[in-house]
Amino acid sequence: MSRRNPVITGSGIICAAGCGVAAVWESVRANRSGLGPLTLFSSPRYGNHLVGQVRDNVDKLAGNVRGSRSDKLSWIAAREALAAAGLESGSGKINPARAGVMLGATVGGMLGTEKLLARLLRENKHRFGALRFHECAGAADLCARKIGALGSVATISTACSAGAMAILAAAELIEQGEADLMLAGAGDSLSRLTLNGFGSLLLLDPNGCRPFDAQRAGISLGEGAAMLIIEAEATALARGATILARLAGWGASCDAFHATAPRPDGSGALAAMQRALHCGQLQPGEIDFVWAHGTATPDNDAMETRALKQLFGGRPPPVASVKRFFGHTLAASGPIKAVLAAQSLRQQAVPGTPGFEFADAALGLQPVKEFRPQPLSRVLSNSFGFGGNNVALVFERADSRPTMSVPGHSSVIRTCGVNSPGSAAMAALLPPEQTRSKGFAVLGIGAVSAVGSSLAQIAAAFSNGRPATSPFPVPLISPAAQAQVYACGEFGADQFIEPAKRRKLSRLQQMALVAARNSLSFGPAAVAPEKVCVAIGTGLGSLNDTAAFVENMILKNERVPRPSLFVNSLHNSLASQIAIELGFSGLNSTPVQREISFETALWQAATELASGRADFALAGAADELNPHHLAAGMRWGWWRDSSPEIRPFAGALKNRERPPPGEGATVVALGRAQTSLSPLAYASAIRIGRSEQQNARAEARWIAQTLERDGIPVGSVDLLLTGANGLTESDDFYRSIAGGLSRLAGRTIACGAYKHACGEHHSASAFGFLTAAALVRGEIAPEHCTMDKTTSPPACRTVVLFAFSPTGTKGMCCVRA
């Protein structure tokens, strides 16, 4: 068996403490803070605050790269990591099919979007171009394009633990055998939204953060990026790479407690750390040093100290927080610590805690004050995000374990990721009942859609064939217009969510929560809350609350910032609110990978189920309509007042027209195939990937290969269910894939669609999953998806759901009766 241990073979970093691992380490060695004045933009309210702004010329350093500041920071760090690993572009040492990119992000292109909105609101100038770089997925798409990665490519947004969550996900992909090499990390730029947002929560310390100090009063906001090259040990050694450090364990948990406040007793953080140790088969005594999350907010440092004391029996190893070196870099904070942790293991030295002066008697913790040499075998690094999304990672010295495969050496087979959701390759390692001929049981599906919230309503909409569009006012362009959209209308939030809770949730959070509750209507038997994973993707998050926060900020010149709007603007509030409402404390995540956000969530849920860490999982996706988005699209000629409804395979759209936008939330409740409950259907062959270009034959091969490795004969597939949306180019592409698949199967596999019911949006493929389940259950007739009675199979037993985003990321799964 080949060794799948994830090892770190390259690292890169850019932050306020310097550009490059050597420069940042020198700042750490000299105990020199990189905090300084804010000059990136003006802030009437917080302009006097110390921030961790990158002083280098980011545009120049990034070279010939188009994207947001976050994207550019990410690429600068990624390029350094690739070079350090001996993988410069053009070196030919990367096998594209075995390489992937997994990044965290929270800010994305918000800095540019803010400028656009300011011009729109103050000068009535309609320049929507910056919206092209708005999405958090931009950095992962950019890096994947640069290195030509054709493996799994995705972005995760779990607030301040997003980058650490991405590293965790990358480690899983390596261990599953899905990739040999992953670029993993995160980049987040400063923005007015985050500065005013943290300000509105009274979490900023104007004079610079003071972690663990008795006088600590909040964070300093920073920006930056850090990237790791993570490889499977065997393939890294085979190519002669130098191992910088090992990723020895990883664990995630959810507080399931509050939107911003951590669980005060630290039990959520403790669970993440315990899971990381368990994953690495390690005892607390084997940890030599802790890279604390240590944000310097009163709540975080108190909670984290409690958790550390519990984990280490009252006597934690040396602890430091490095936040004052570069500020709180949000998604990047976990990867920055990961890069520095690998460096500390090589240098056998630990950082100090600048900003710390007076020990807090209430904490009883004395962090390391100054840089010093210390023998290190293993270090623990914590990252905690709003919503209680906790991640802990353990890094280990490169030479601490035998580097060559030793037969019978048990320590090299870990237990944190035993099994792949998509690969049968490791099935031999598993007890027979876990080999997945059926995949995962679909126990329930909940939805909020333009055609209703119940499966019966949705199935009826498919069969009556009436268009589900309605007019939606778009006041932001002149003359004010109305777009034809697939809007959800009333979805029964008042029946499912108590008023006291509902008043604080964004509309999108309410949609996701209603869908989640509906997905559980089968009444699961008693489940252990810590064994329930929640992964809810989104393309654009709670757009309306985000826009309202930014508009308020612009129009009132940063007066009266609105904290609840900021909290709702965090993408991961979708998954974490569900966890809070339902008490689920397993891995909690919000992927934000454009049109494959749902597939990424499905992969995360399947990974947790297959590993045994979860007994039960909710996977879904949600996106909402927003006037700004519609205004931009109408300005660009995508949509007109009278855009026709979506008619897949009809070739009705002309020129620049795009299919009318929609919105919706879909949540799927998944369990293991062996269940006493009666599943609606089974899901298997769950996989995400990327293509360099649209090549139907290559996609057909990719789908067939994914089915085969999960033991599903291609010949058993009845229908390929796709995002076909009436655009000739897209419809032809999907039909060609079905054609290619038919040739491989030796029988006709029809091509189907679902967007004529739900509209075009980033979470549409989650609705596609629902459609697939209804097809295999006979609740929707195939002809209502193929739009053609003559070529339709009379019934569907096996449906492949395939999603493809314009940037080439893709995802699939197989739904069977």
Partner 1 sequence: MESLIEELKAKIITGFNLEGVTAADINPDEPIFGTGLELDSIDALELVAILEQDYGIVILERSVADKAFASLRALAEFVVANRT
Q: Give the type of residue at 4.
A: R
Nearer to partner 1, 123 or 490 (CB): 490
Cβ of residue 198: shortest distance to partner 1, in angstroms? 11
Cβ of residue 256: shortest distance to partner 1, in angstroms? 15
Cβ of residue 520: shortest distance to partner 1, in angstroms? 24
**The binder of partner 1 chosen from 96, 148, 298, 318 (CB under 8 A):** 298
Cα 418 from chain centre: 22
Assess 197 for contact with partner 1 (CB under 8 A): no
Q: How far apart are CA 537 and CA 763, in angstroms?
A: 8
**The binder of partner 1 chosen from 560, 692, 713, 789 (CB under 8 A):** 560
Nearer to partner 1, 561 or 679 (CB): 561
Assess 583 for contact with partner 1 (CB under 8 A): no
Assess 201 for contact with partner 1 (CB under 8 A): yes
**The binder of partner 1 chosen from 93, 258, 309, 743 (CB under 8 A):** 258
Cβ of residue 306: shortest distance to partner 1, in angstroms? 18
The stretch near partner 1 (CB under 8 A) out of 152-160, 257-265, 510-518, 680-688 is 257-265
Applying CB under 8 A, what is the total number of residues that bind partner 1? 25
Q: How far apart are CA 134 and CA 30, in angstroms?
A: 37
Nearer to partner 1, 74 or 510 (CB): 510
**The binder of partner 1 chosen from 60, 503, 654, 656 (CB under 8 A):** 503
Per-residue contact flags (x/-) with partner 1 for residues 217 to 256, judged by CB under 8 A: xx--------------------------------------
Q: How far apart are CA 440 and CA 269, in angstroms?
A: 29
Residue 483: helix, strand or coil by DSSP? strand
**The binder of partner 1 chosen from 32, 55, 122, 559 (CB under 8 A):** 559
Furthest-apart CA atoms within the chain: distance in Å = 78
Assess 44 for contact with partner 1 (CB under 8 A): no
Nearer to partner 1, 502 or 640 (CB): 502
Assess 499 for contact with partner 1 (CB under 8 A): yes
Q: Which long-range contacts link 775-783 to residues 24+ away (Cβ below 8 Å)?
A: 775/719, 775/721, 775/799, 775/815, 776/681, 776/815, 776/816, 776/817, 777/680, 777/681, 777/817, 779/455, 779/456, 779/459, 780/459, 780/462, 780/463, 781/462, 781/463, 782/718, 782/719, 782/750, 782/752
Cβ of residue 453: shortest distance to partner 1, in angstroms? 23
If we measure between CA atoms, which residue out of 69, 67, 82, 64 comes closest to residue 138? 67
DSSP 163-207: HHHHHHHHHHHHHHTS-SEEEEEEEE---HHHHHHHHHTT-B-TT
If we measure between CA atoms, which residue out of 568, 602, 575 comes closest to residue 589? 575
Nearer to partner 1, 260 or 389 (CB): 260
Q: How far apart are CA 37 and CA 786, in angstroms?
A: 59
Assess 567 for contact with partner 1 (CB under 8 A): yes
Q: How far apart are CA 518 and CA 458, in angstroms?
A: 14
Q: How far apart are CA 255 and CA 272, in angstroms?
A: 10
Helix-helix angle 298-311:267-279, to 10 degrees? 50
Per-residue contact flags (x/-) with partner 1 for residues 85 to 124, judged by CB under 8 A: ----------------------------------------
Cβ of residue 259: shortest distance to partner 1, in angstroms? 6
Q: How far apart are CA 219 and CA 647, in angstroms?
A: 51
* Residue 39: how many other CB atoms lie within 10 Å: 10
Cβ of residue 529: shortest distance to partner 1, in angstroms? 21
Nearer to partner 1, 9 or 552 (CB): 552
The stretch near partner 1 (CB under 8 A) out of 160-168, 193-201, 420-428, 782-790 is 193-201
CA dihedral for 604, 610, 613, 618, sign (positive or negative): positive
If we measure between CA atoms, which residue out of 683, 604, 179, 176 comes closest to residue 426? 176
Buried-state track 164-186, b at ≥16 Cβ within 10 A, e below 16:
bbbbbbbbbbbbbbbbbbbbbbb
Measured distance between the N- and C-terminal CA atoms of the chain, rounded to whole angstroms: 34
Cβ of residue 493: shortest distance to partner 1, in angstroms? 13
Assess 685 for contact with partner 1 (CB under 8 A): no
Cβ of residue 365: shortest distance to partner 1, in angstroms? 21
Nearer to partner 1, 70 or 260 (CB): 260
Beta-strand relationship, 798-804 and 719-722: parallel
Assess 654 for contact with partner 1 (CB under 8 A): no
Assess 200 for contact with partner 1 (CB under 8 A): yes
Assess 281 for contact with partner 1 (CB under 8 A): no
**The binder of partner 1 chosen from 261, 359, 698, 745 (CB under 8 A):** 261
- DSSP assigned state of 526: P
Assess 259 for contact with partner 1 (CB under 8 A): yes
Cβ of residue 271: shortest distance to partner 1, in angstroms? 22
Cα 442 from chain centre: 22
Task: Record the tokens describing residue 580, joined without a space.
Answer: 């809070």
Cβ of residue 430: shortest distance to partner 1, in angstroms? 44
If we measure between CA atoms, which residue out of 644, 645, 528 comes closest to residue 582? 528
Assess 199 for contact with partner 1 (CB under 8 A): yes
**The binder of partner 1 chosen from 562, 640, 658, 777 (CB under 8 A):** 562
Binding footprint of partner 1 on the chain (CB under 8 A): 199-204, 206, 217-218, 258-261, 298, 499-500, 503-504, 559-564, 567
